[in-house]
Amino acid sequence: MKKLTHHAVFIISVLVAYLINGLVMKVLGGIDRLHNSKYLSVLIYMTAIVIVFYPIYHILTKVGEEVGHSVIKQSQKMIGSPFVGLLLGFITLFGILFCCYAWVMYKLTVVDMVRTLF
């Protein structure tokens, strides 16, 4: 169960860190217009990726492990199965991240996504 929790936390951490990194890159999108040097803009992008991605990944992994263990304990008390609690927690977080990615990439809201289904 510990290994499964570790993999779930890793997946969620990478997705969150990449989402935040993508938002920072959108903010820095005008950097190439500020400087004439393409090399300087590449260096700024690379620096931003390391500055943003590295700490966020480690923070999310640490917090995620703690939350994961807490979810497993609570679900074992409520449902009787730590696996079901981990699965429900993972699906919930994945769904939230899916909505965030849809908004960032295509400006889609949950209401827009539901409308297209019906």
Q: What pLDDT, in 10s, does the model give residues 20-64?
A: 877 877 777 766 566 667 788 788 878 877 887 788 878 887 887
Q: What pLDDT, in 10s, does the model give residues 52-87?
A: 778 887 888 788 778 777 777 777 777 777 788 788
3 state SS of 101: helix
Identify the domain containing residue 38 by its residue range.
2-117
For residues 10 and 57, give the distance between their C-alpha atoms in angstroms, rounded to a whole number: 9
Record the pTM: 0.72
Number of domains composing the chain: 1
DSSP string, 22-40: HHHHHHGGGHHHH-S-HHH
Structure-token pair, residue 91: 């699906």
